[in-house]
A = this chain, B = another copy of it.
């Protein structure tokens, strides 16, 4: 196939942002992301890099500056174009809606007894608060760097966490009213 997945595009983006760099460096970016969606598993990253290289969206050349085995990856002109196309309006439906696993669970919350509903919401609120602290710390780190879009992404993640906490408070009220 020659249509690129979200992962493919994000890999291109990371190579563009951090390249020239090794595949391992790319992988680290995904591993260090808080999102469990970007697992950074070797079995996903390396085959994808190989495919993107074969499609000539990524340039790869052996690194001779060190004796350690390793290739230096960078974004080719075609790769830059692929990123630009990905960001070109109009965005397709899949690019617009977020996916919130808490919303998924709340959808079926009525299936369990009221006491468990309350425990679910209370625990989720606590865990969300903990994540908010982690995200704040990430935001501070990003502000030390020089990439304004990294900072914006951290701010977005933070705002999302806060909005979801406010929403969960509403869920808590509904649950408590029974």
Contact = CB atoms under 8 A, between A and B. Distances in A.
Interface of A: 6, 10, 12-14, 16-17, 34-37, 75, 80, 83-84, 86-91, 93-112, 116, 119-120, 122-124, 127-128, 131, 147-150, 152-153, 155-157, 159-160, 162-164, 166-167, 170-171, 174
Given A13-B107, A98-B164, A159-B163, A36 B83 contact: no
Copies in the complex: 2
- Grouping DSSP codes into helix (H, G, I), strand (E, B) and loop, the A interface class, with mixed when no group exceeds half, is helix
B6 A107 contact: no
Contact of A83 (B95, B111, B119): B111
Max count, chain B CB within 10 A of own CB: residue among A35, A86, A105, A122: A105
A26 to B, nearest CB: 13
B96 A98 contact: no
A111 B74 CA distance: 13
Given A96-B124, A119-B89, A108 B149 contact: yes
